[in-house]
Structure 1
Amino acid sequence: MENDTAYFRDVATGGRVFALGEREGQSWHSTAEDPAGTQRIHAKVVFHPSYLGRENCFVDTGTETALCGSNTIFIDFFSVSQCIKPGLWTWRFFEDDKEFSSGKYTVHPTLPPGTTPAINQGVFGQEYDKTGEPIRRKGCMLVSLTEMLQYHGVQPGPDVSNPVLDLNRWLILNGGFVGGDIDPHKIEDYAMCKGRVAGCRPVYVHYQGPSVGSELKMDICRFGAQPIRILGPRIVSGRPLPTHWAPATGFTSDALTDVFLADPNGGEVDKLYSSYKDRANYEPIPNGQTRVFNGEEFIITDKGRNGLFIVLHSPVHLMVTDPAGRRTGLDVSSGQPLSEIPHAAYDPGGYGDVMDEDRGDPNPPRSFVMTQSSAGNYTLDVTGTAAGNYTLDIRSYDRAGTDTTSTFADLPIQAGERHGYALSYSPEPGAPPAVVGGFDGGGQRPRDVNQFLTYIRPLDSRTSLPAGTTSSSVILKYGPTTLPETFSASLNGVDVSALFHPAPGSFEAVTLNLQAGSNVLILSIDGRIGRRTATDSDRLVLVVN
């Protein structure tokens, strides 16, 4: 401890006493008084010239541990101090219950100065991922993660001098970017030198999952610097505002009302969270999303790395429902976000440069991230925010850290239109997830036959379309054991099979020309279940009102 100063991530604090044992029953102990006046009394150490057949013993009365063979000793009195109440602490030291010394020190609710660098993202003109945009515009999370990694001692490889560029390059080469968003699970691999040059020193860094600002004190004092979202996604006067992330390094006082940042915006050390409060998309501290990482002080072996990372390339929003019926995402009917699934978060904002207010992304990537995912069936509801095409990337991790990615690319959608996906997930190694359409057409027995043709759109056997609609898309997924040569499709009695391109395990979007009133689409395909062949036939009605 220097200058009578401690920090709330310090594991223990205390004092050392030199003891000279001169008589039977001579004792030493200490007390620690917190800023509120509450005392902690530490067990006495008692001297015995003779103790259980041994000579000159100091006995800890708390643990009944004895140290014998000398009548002099240094006694370290200490208390666990990590995450304790910040402020002025007073220690008193006693011999034979009489105080002979005392000392005071201040515990600050921050990490020690200089342990988290502040790197200015504004100096990087290099391309962020393969987006065509420079790091100075899109790199706040990239720089925030670099700062967090450096806090834990992770350094760039010996062939690259700049840690931001090293991480950016590695993420590109190792699948760490998904549509411009960063897969937080991949940060673990980077820290452990997977795919990096010889001479890299591996450091254990574990992604625990998303959290919120109301948990920020415990996240920082237990695990260190944590990226937090200060500016959230918001549209003002039809103009999207950019979001912003920065590592939080502590609080300005024990009131926990303002936060110090190692801010990539200008590379400012100890910039105040509240300095952004006048911006229209400011998120109060309790609402700010965080991404929680821990270092090698907390090596986690019991929960593994299983989880989900889902990225949507707009113009859409996402709602995920877990096997227990809990939801996380955006409720488009109310416009309100939901966060019911444990260890999960939905980020509808992407990344932007807070110094460039006019260039928020109108259709940023939307991401859903979850750790410690439960086995079972998940549903993904996708709702269009405007007319356009979107891509959905679903990346899953099993307990061994093996990832599998399913991509549904370039799917057409209209504003207000709903698409659905069903995801069967298991965290067990060797059990890759199955992703199918959210509607199976119904009617077949056994139900496995219904999986030969599943539908991302429509999501019901009867769908109403606005008056004047002349065409509409059907998006379907073919089961992995289907027989393409058996496929047939007819629309209003006319064979339209040539519009479809069935292949086992594939998906496609097919645009159909429609007439006013009811349009009846009948699809059929055979597939294998074990040694037998079965047929999945579906009748879909598209009604143009």
Structure 2
Amino acid sequence: MKTAILLVLVGCVFGGFTTAFGSTNTFLGLFRYDVQFVGSEARGNWIRQENDEAYYRDPFVAAETVIREATNGETWEAVLTKADGTVIRWDPVQFYDNYDGRSNCFVSPVWTECGRTVQWIQWYARSQCQAPGTWRWEFLNNGQIFHAAQFAVLPQIPPGRVPLYNQADYADPSNPDHAYDNICRTGTQRNVYVCDGRPNEVRWTIRGKGCYLTDAAMILSYHGVGVDPMTLNTWLSENRGYRPGGDIRPRAIVQYAMSNGGNITFPAETPNSQSVWNGLAEPERFICTYGPRMLGVNASPTTSQPRHWVVAIGRNADRSTYLINDPAGGVETTLAGGYENRYTAMRTFGRPSATYTDSTGISISFHSPGDLLLTDPQGRRVGYNPVQGLTYAEIPGAFYESHYLADDESGDPGPLTKELDVPWPVPGKYNLEVFGTGEGVYTLDISAYDPKMNPSIRQFWDVSISPGTVHTYAFQYAKQVGVELEFDAVSGNFDGKGQRPADVNKFLSYVAPMEGTVTLPAGTAKYSVVIIYDRAVIPGTFKAEFNGRDVSASFKPAPAGIESVRLDLERGRNVLVLSIEGRIGDRVARDTDRLVFVVP
């Protein structure tokens, strides 16, 4: 393999001299190209190696030599041996007293410089994502070595480039700036709910729940978007950056970067395997390509779900463990030192490549005894079907994983979140199935981002589900700027049985309930109705009556819309009557449904 060289004539020389074969050859030193450092106009991102060390995050390494008093026929070349034994040999540079009608010329296969006997040469090679370890450079004059230099390519980001933040710096629940999202607990309990002013309510703090948040602030700051956890938390709280229960929407981190002049993506593109040494592990490939990675750690004894998130910045010299910035205490440590040398999840943020044009995504979170399965417009699936016992991972880049929003103060695991994410989604109709695996209620959050990172968010709270029950949500994703998600009734949704013909009856449909009369467990106090509005409905004609009271204001009908509305139940029969008009061709008709909820 051969690599080009860069030549620049300079006016001064430094370093020790070595004389060989008529000319004087000077080795100036070893350099590395730092992706974050910007020095003088002449040097740019090139900086001298300290302690003969470079990093596999550096795009290039270089050596510089100067030739003086060159004589006719002399040649110079360089040979670089990487840590994995790969050898790079540069084509020779040769000096001619006369060449093609010009005098005193340095000639290589790709360039020619004439009119001098002094030449500065920068020999450079790609180092990013290459084999870490000891590299050796040899410089030859007329085929014999006049200087050799060794240096180490370390498997990490340069020290100090990722800021170290401590989530414990934000521990006061009475300080609004320390409050994490808008979630609370009751007294000394470790429960999590959206703050509502109930007695003995205590705000969760960044110290307790903010590991992912603190990691995100470190990663953003590394990429030039300087922010601390407190400032980022405030922005996310004010810009719908949190999901129900306190989890962060990853693409909200991208939104924050864009709103502050930054440019990052989630997830980062899979690194090009042709430009990455095949001996690197998956997290390393992302670290050397994009910078720090977020790793899920501290897995529970019986499951693989992470309870804590740290920032990986590389590996130690022998690559036996990962170097991490741990937000719990704000310490630099290793995966071996703090977390039994294992991680169970990874989140990738990074700068986009020149060819990267798609920042869209669909992200779904779920709290419940249940599972999710999403089918895209091409019939590809991601998620888990517990009825069949099958896991699907057919959509490129998509994942379905679980994690806890743990309490980093007490170690309590906190609520379990199931997260399904589809990057770069194709436009069209998506089908989301929610499989009930136990008795209870679920909270579902669906967020979709358009090409300008505008979110379309739908949330469904406290929806009842039972083992064997399947709830279906069908939505259209346009992948166009400013176009919201649109929902449609499909097979599996309940049409209310209120009207005939069917085209009128479909004006109102339901994910829940799935039948006209529902008998609930004794003592049930609330029930969430999930209602789908047909595209043909006329919102201003909507009426809702619950137990004889007008509750129309609790609903927000919209064509192709969907919403969940919680009902406060009484013992006995609870009757909800819903009606709306819609257009069928050139006429208008009304669909009226009667839903009964029985509480023994």
Instruction: Give TM-score, length-normalised by structure 1.
Output: 0.78
Q: Do 1:210 and 1:290's aligned partners in 2 also have CA atoms closer than 8 Å?
A: no
- Letter aligned with residue 229 of structure 1: G
- 2:248 is aligned, of 182, 190, 194, to 182
Does residue 325 of structure 2 align to residue 249 of structure 1? no
Residue 169 of structure 1 corresponds to 234
**What's the secondary structure of 2:235's corresponding residue?**
helix
1:3-41 deviations in Å (ceiling 9; x for gaps):
111111111113112123633442211111122333111
Residue 492 of structure 1 corresponds to none
Q: Do 1:192 and 1:204's aligned partners in 2 also have CA atoms closer than 8 Å?
A: yes
Q: Which residues of structure 1 form unaligned runs of 5+?
A: 157-162, 195-201, 490-494, 516-520
Q: Do 1:209 and 1:369's aligned partners in 2 also have CA atoms closer than 8 Å?
A: no
Structure scoring higher RCO (CA < 8 A, sep ≥ 6) equals 1
Residue 65 of structure 1 corresponds to 111
- 2:143 is aligned, of 73, 97, 114, to 97
- Letter aligned with residue 312 of structure 2: A
Q: Residue 440 of structure 1: CA displacement?
A: 5.0
Residue 408 of structure 1 corresponds to 460
CA distance in 2, matches of 1:211, 1:388: 38
Higher deviation after alignment, 227-236 or 97-106: 227-236
Q: Which residues of structure 2 form unaligned runs of 5+?
A: 1-48, 172-177, 184-202, 272-279
Residue 322 of structure 2 corresponds to 259
What does residue range 331-410 of structure 1 map to in structure 2 within 5 Å?
331-333=385-387, 338-354=392-408, 356-357=410-411, 359-361=412-414, 363-384=415-436, 386-410=438-462
- 1:268 is aligned, of 317, 325, 331, to 331
CA distance in 1, matches of 2:141, 2:543: 93
Residue 206 of structure 1 corresponds to 265
Residue 9 of structure 1 corresponds to 57
Residue 16 of structure 2 corresponds to none
- Letter aligned with residue 459 of structure 2: T
Kindly tell me the number of residue pairs found equivalent between the two proteins.
501
Residue 324 of structure 1 corresponds to 378
Residue 283 of structure 2 corresponds to 216
Q: Do 2:460 and 2:530's aligned partners in 1 also have CA atoms closer than 8 Å?
A: no
- Letter aligned with residue 303 of structure 1: T
Residue 481 of structure 2 corresponds to 429
- 2:87 is aligned, of 36, 39, 42, to 39
Q: Residue 313 of structure 1: CA displacement?
A: 4.3
Does residue 366 of structure 2 align to residue 307 of structure 1? no
CA distance in 2, matches of 1:530, 1:226: 55
- Letter aligned with residue 48 of structure 1: Y
What does residue range 491-502 of structure 1 map to in structure 2 within 5 Å?
none
- Letter aligned with residue 324 of structure 2: L
Higher deviation after alignment, 130-139 or 464-473: 464-473
Q: Per the alignment, do residues 189 and 235 of structure 1 end up closer, same or farther by CA in structure 2, a change over 3 Å counting?
A: same
Provide the alpha-carbon RMSD of the alignment.
4.3
Does residue 160 of structure 2 align to residue 114 of structure 1? yes
Q: Per the alignment, do residues 449 and 347 of structure 1 end up closer, same or farther by CA in structure 2, a change over 3 Å counting?
A: farther
**What's the secondary structure of 2:250's corresponding residue?**
coil
- Letter aligned with residue 30 of structure 1: A
CA distance in 1, matches of 2:89, 2:501: 69
Q: Per the alignment, do residues 151 and 446 of structure 1 end up closer, same or farther by CA in structure 2, a change over 3 Å counting?
A: farther
Q: Residue 92 of structure 1: CA displacement?
A: 0.7
Higher deviation after alignment, 170-179 or 17-26: 17-26
Residue 479 of structure 1 corresponds to 534
Residue 160 of structure 1 corresponds to none
**What's the secondary structure of 1:207's corresponding residue?**
coil
Q: Residue 384 of structure 1: CA displacement?
A: 4.0
**What's the secondary structure of 1:149's corresponding residue?**
helix
CA distance in 2, matches of 1:449, 1:210: 46
Instruction: Give TM-score, length-normalised by structure 2.
Output: 0.71
- Letter aligned with residue 407 of structure 1: Q
Q: Per the alignment, do residues 249 and 310 of structure 1 end up closer, same or farther by CA in structure 2, a change over 3 Å counting?
A: same
CA distance in 2, matches of 1:223, 1:372: 19
**What's the secondary structure of 1:133's corresponding residue?**
strand
